[in-house]
Amino acid sequence: MSVHPTTSRFKDNVHEALSDQRLQGALTFARNFIGRRAAAVERLPEFDALRDSARAIKDHTLAHLDLYLEAYEKKVLSLGGHVHWARDAAEARKIVIDLCKAKGAKAVTKGKSMISEEIGLNDALEAEGIEAIETDLGEYIIQLRGEAPSHIIAPAIHVTARDIEQEFRKAHKDLPASRDLSEPEQLLGEARKILRDKFLSADIGVTGANFLVAETGASIVVTNEGNADLTQILPNVHIVVASVEKIVPTLNDAAQILRVLARSATGQDMSVYTTLSAGPKRPGDPDGPEEYHVVILDNGRSAMLGGEFEDMLRCIRCGACMNHCPVYHAIGGHAYGWVYPGPMGAVLTPSLIGVKEGGALPNASTFCGRCEAVCPMRIPLPNMMRHWREREFERHLPPARQRFALALWAFFAKRPTLYRLATSPAMRALHFAGRSRGRFAWLPFAGGWTNARDFAAPQGATFQSRWRAKSGAVQ
């Protein structure tokens, strides 16, 4: 699913999403995150200082990325773990599949991992006859539905409880048809029971990582369910898939970022389970994996270093940008067409799959700036979306009509006197034409706007003339 992006059909995806009544109903839940984050931030006076600290840590780490990766690798090896390097998605898939084959694995449990989505691991495992079981409740639900996640921390946010009931009745055929699944508790209870057996019988567990710590060689994974823990302590082999920029120097550095992560994501002060895993189980340990493997993925990230999109490598995948994005609220995550939705997806997707495929996404922004305002890592998301728009324009990717309209506007915008001469009569004319109703239900060349809503009639003067009158500025 996730390896075949539909990002190039973004416009069609948007139209479908906007007219999907069921989806529009489910999307109202995405707005709950806003108040929760605000409350958590309110409780922590040091929040902004922590954001600065977190940002500085990532910037320092990226400037020394090669050396911290070396130190991390050395530490993992010294603990008896294995480190594998993957240039791209295909290499990463092959590493995991070869490990599964070597162990004769038939069933693989998985903790939620965006990198696993990025490399399309589930499909690759299934193609080899290996059962891949998502264990995060949201991921399990969308796996049953054959979908990609629509949100990076709430993958099934587009699904209603009734959809889940239907899905469970279809998938869990061994259970009595008469059972009651009307309450969310009952749905959770059923998933818990089914997945408990899968946890206990899996051959290999695959998790992602929120951090790789150079100081101790530990991978850190954060969950609320505890599924990443059952995934890694029950099977004999624990495989971590993570990308190069997940590295931090020390545990104390991870602590700074952890403090902004959960608050920005779910509005919790700290997620329920923060787990540090270093190497395989130690001599005498009564449980834990016999083998520990880390697959470190590049997939285009090293090429972002030192360029205008380097700031994006600070992203910690909290989802705050999409939780606060009016575009995401309107269309949900699937319309973005690949793994990463919302503002962070609009910036990252063209970097990872190319501007030709993903170039439409950075246009899906009103530049309202809420994403940057809430980003715990202070990533200038609107600025970077503008960079992408410029690149898309330079490469002549937008349609000719759009390019012509922009060029026409630019011609006037660069000539203020001409601009004023053209706009003030136009405003007066529109004011005159719309004076009776104060709005237009139809305007020539503006069908894209007026098809869905009225266009407010101008009040007669231009913004510039009113500004001059108000401030008495010399111009």
Partner 1 sequence: MSSREAIFASIRRALHVAGGEAPRREIVAERLAAAPVGVIPARGQGDAEARLKTFAAEADRAQASVATVAEAADVPKEIARFLREHNLPAHLRMGDDPLLAAMPWSATALEIAHGPSDGHDLNAVTAAFAGIAETGTVALLSGPDNPTTLNFLPDNAIVVLPADRVEGAIEGVFKRLRETFGPGGGPRTVNLVTGPSRSADIEQTLLLGAHGPRRLHIVIVKESFGSTH
User: What pairing do the DSSP bridges indicate for beta strands 237-243 and 291-297?
Assistant: parallel
Give helix then strand counts, H and E, for the chain.
23, 12
Q: How far is the CB of 350 from partner 1 (least distance, A)?
A: 18
Minimum separation from the CB atom of position 127 to partner 1 (A)? 22
Q: Report the residue number, 125 or 195, with the smaller CB distance to partner 1.
A: 195
Q: Considering beta carbons, is residue 274 or 383 the nearer one to partner 1?
A: 274
**Nearest one of 392, 421, 426, 420 to 406, comparing CA atoms:** 392
SS3 (DSSP) at 210: coil
CB nearer to partner 1: pick between 108 and 427 = 108
**Cα end-to-end distance, the chain, whole Å:** 57
Structure tokens at 49: 């200082």
Residue 131 Cβ, how far from partner 1 at the closest point, in Å? Answer: 18
DSSP one-letter string for 314-338: G-----HHHHT-HHHHHHTTGGG-S
Residue 456 is encoded by which pair of tokens?
């407010």
CB 219, CB 209: distance < 8 Å? yes
- Distance of closest approach, residue 267 Cβ to partner 1, in angstroms: 10
Pick between residue 35 and residue 326 the one whose CB is nearest to partner 1: 35
One-letter amino acid identity for 305?
Answer: L
CB nearer to partner 1: pick between 286 and 444: 286
Closest distance to partner 1 from the beta carbon of 328 (Å)? 15
Minimal distance, residue 461 CB to partner 1, in Å: 46
Distance (Å, rounded) from C-alpha 298 to C-alpha 90? 11
For the bound state, the minimum distance from the C-beta of residue 28 to partner 1, rounded and expressed in Å, comes to 9
Closest CB 425 distance from partner 1, rounded Å: 52
CB of 116 or CB of 277, closer to partner 1: 277
Selection from 38, 56, 113, 46 nearest residue 320 by Cα = 38
**Closer Cβ to partner 1, 8 or 274, answer by number:** 274
Per DSSP, helices labelled H in 342-452 are 342-353, 355-358, 370-374, 381-394, 400-413, 416-433, 447-450
Whole-number minimum distance, CB 139 to partner 1, in Å? 8
Q: Which is nearer to partner 1, 198 or 360 (CB)?
A: 198
Q: Which is nearer to partner 1, 302 or 383 (CB)?
A: 302
Question: Shortest Cβ distance from residue 357 to partner 1 (Å)?
Answer: 21
Sequence-distant contacts of 451-458: CB under 8 A, at least 24 apart: 457/430, 457/431, 457/433, 458/427, 458/430, 458/431, 458/434
C-alpha closest to that of 462 among 407, 405, 419, 403: 419
Beta strands in 191-283 (DSSP E): 204-207, 211-213, 218-223, 237-243, 247-248, 273-277
Q: What is the DSSP string of 340-373?
A: --HHHHHHHHHHHH-HHHHTTGGGS-----HHHH
Ramachandran category for residue 270: left, alpha or beta (phi over 0 → left; psi -120 to 50 → alpha): beta
Smaller CB separation from partner 1, 157 or 364: 157
Distance CA 111, CA 451 (A): 44
